[in-house]
Chains A and B, each alone.
Chain A
Amino acid sequence: MRGALVIAGKDLRNIFASPLFYVIAGVCCIAWTILFIVSVAAFLQPQMQMMSGADGMNLHFTVFAKHISLVNLVMIFAVAAISMRLFPDEKRQRTFDLLLTAPVTATDITLGKLIAGTVTAWALVLVSLLYPLSLVFWGHLDWGPLACSYIGLLLLVACYVAIDMFTSSLTQSTVVAVILALIFNVLLWFLGAAADASESPLQRQVFEHLNVSTHYVNFLKGNFSVSGLIFFATVVFFFSFLTQRVVESTRWR
């Protein structure tokens, strides 16, 4: 564990010292800002307010849910770009030899990379939280659903990090890593669609459990679901396990 923290610390320092991270963060913020302004403006139009009945419209569902969905979409790309350098850089600079001959295990190396990637991605997600929070002075915020949907978002982003860390461990090239990462991230969303194609009820049930959007929408609606938590944790664990095997395999390949 000590080794994992040392590696994570080094990676974090290098990520936050590189221009790449700030370019990614800047692009993300531009996308978020444009959509957020548009949806807040739409929300404020009187006819929209009238259509939704006496209570007025719900800020959470009309503005924040849209914003969070966009953050999720942007993170599919952003996490791929952040994680693409986790392993290829070590391999290209031959520093992987240093890690493998240091008194740390393959699990430490994997865990260190996972921590570094997750902290970076979560930092971006927390920046996106500033948008909903900025409305605290002008409107009434539903803290429950907002917190719940952000917890869901953080878990989902951690899944992307684990997946993208795995794809980056497979190759020496950042380009291959980023392309594989995007394919895997998008595939995660299509996994649930197999439910419609399956005939046996058991198969159907299994795929419905693997449906990311069911779990994600649950969190978005403000329902904290334990099954969702377990699902996301399983994805993170599964891909971290695969990465650990890949790291270990460099010893005997």
Chain B
Amino acid sequence: MIEVRELTKNYGPHKAVDRLSFSVKKGEVVGFLGPNGAGKTTTMKIITGFMPPSAGSVTVAGFDVFEDPIEVKKRIGYLPETPPVYGEMTVESYLKFVARLKGVEKSKLSAQVERAIEKTDLGSVRKRMIQNLSKGYRQRVGISQALVSEPEVLILDEPTVGLDPRQVAEVRKLIKDLAGHHTIILSTHILPEVQATCERIIIINRGRIAAEDSLDGLSRRMSGSARVHVRVVDMKDSVVGDLRSTPGVQGVVARGGGVIEIDTDGSKGITPKLAERVVTAGCGLLELREERINLEDVFLKLTTSEENQNKGATL
């Protein structure tokens, strides 16, 4: 649905996004995670056709963002960091305006406005002027605005900022409900948010992808599970099956160079048991290392080590 290839954006000498490549499948919910200034908003603005990249290409539903911007924009609902609302309009008239602007047909207009109001639970304030609404309601109007044209792709830039905990939960639920019908990219710097809503996570830092993983992969790490890295001299096929059948092992991946990665549930005593299996198989154990990490660690490690690398490069 969305293909981003070698995307680069420079602001003068500063590289906001540096050769970013990823793709999002139809119906997927992808979380963009990164510290402030990592290039999340810039990437999103480029996908929406708001501004052109310095290099690289983006296609949405097969249309290139810079060759067919109108076709792409028809298919995207975008919520910027600040909800783009007119204070002097009522919620209902504003949503009608956005629907018309996005080219919704007259016959479907009021039905789609109704649906957007219903989904974001704005029924009680529909006749109120937006300038008199609280920040949380305005944010919801912003989300509603992105939904009103029923776009295939939704791009939400920090959708839960400024909401109270109950509203945050509601918005997260809404995003989950929308998954499947829409392809969603959302950005945030709040870790649990990603966990609550996304199927796949892209962590970016300093304009580059620091990590990409599925929610399963991440939640396994989060639940305190551990990954064991094993390096052997002589890789035997039987050892992989052997390890896989060990109780407590969730997955075994044999990589090149005699490296085996074993995902475990982190139960006590599993690592020695694995070591024993490798040794009895006669592979010649060279290295065995246990990694116990959670998402915070992943995030911090990925974002700070990159920084150090960059510092090293400039020195």
Interface residues of chain A, those whose CB is within 8 Å of chain B, are 2-3, 6-7, 9-10, 13-14, 17-18, 93-105, 251-252
Contacts and interface: CB of A to CB of B under 8 A. Distances in A.
Contact of A93 (B52, B70, B87, B97): B87
Nearest to B97: A10
B49 interface: yes
A85 B7 CA distance: 36
Contacts of B97: 6, 9-10
B286 interface: no
B62 interface: no
Given A101-B80, A103-B103, A104-B101, 9 more contacts: A2-B103, A7-B101, A13-B93, A14-B89, A97-B78, A97-B84, A101-B48, A103-B74, A103-B102
B88 A14 contact: yes
A33 B247 CA distance: 95
Interface in B83-114: 83-89, 93, 97-98, 100-103
A203 B197 CA distance: 69
Interface string B112-153: 000000000000000000000000000000000100000000
A251 B73 contact: no
A251 B50 contact: yes
A69 B127 CA distance: 44
Nearest to B80: A97
B70 A103 contact: yes
Q: Which of A2, A14, A98, A101 has the most CB of B within 10 A?
A: A101
B84 A95 contact: yes
18 contacts: A6-B101, A9-B97, A14-B89, A18-B88, A93-B86, A93-B87, A94-B83, A97-B50, A97-B80, A97-B82, A97-B84, A98-B80, A100-B50, A101-B49, A101-B73, A103-B70, A103-B71, A104-B101
Prevailing SS type, chain B contact patch: loop
Contacts of A96: 84
B233 interface: no
Contacts of B88: 14, 17-18
A249 to B, nearest CB: 11
Contacts of B103: 2-3, 103
Interface residues of B, number: 28
Nearest to A102: B101
Nearest to A250: B51
Nearest to B94: A10
B82 A94 contact: yes
Nearest to A2: B103
A94 B102 contact: no
A69 B248 CA distance: 91
Given A14-B88, A17-B88, A103-B73, A98 B98 contact: yes
Q: Which 7 A/B pairs are nearest by Cβ-Cβ distance? A: A98-B84, A103-B73, A94-B82, A95-B84, A103-B74, A6-B100, A101-B48
Prevailing SS type, chain A contact patch: helix
Contacts of A251: 50-52
Interface of B: 48-52, 70-71, 73-74, 76, 78, 80, 82-89, 93, 97-98, 100-103, 145
A3 B76 CA distance: 16
Contacts of B74: 103
A99 B85 CA distance: 11
B89 A98 contact: no
B76 A101 contact: yes
Nearest to A17: B88
A115 B205 CA distance: 45
B84 A105 contact: no
Contacts of B85: 93, 95
A97 B48 CA distance: 10
A3 B101 contact: yes
A27 B102 CA distance: 38
A205 B52 CA distance: 44
Nearest to B78: A101
A220 B12 CA distance: 53
A101 B101 contact: no
B51 to A, nearest CB: 5
A252 B52 contact: yes
Nearest to B49: A101
Contacts of B80: 94, 97-98, 101
Contacts of B87: 93
Nearest to A251: B51
Nearest to B100: A6
Contacts of B98: 98, 102
A253 to B, nearest CB: 9
A128 B83 CA distance: 40
A95 B78 CA distance: 12
B51 A252 contact: yes
B57 to A, nearest CB: 16
A228 B73 CA distance: 41
Contact of A101 (B50, B71, B83, B93): B50
A228 B100 CA distance: 37
A102 B50 contact: no
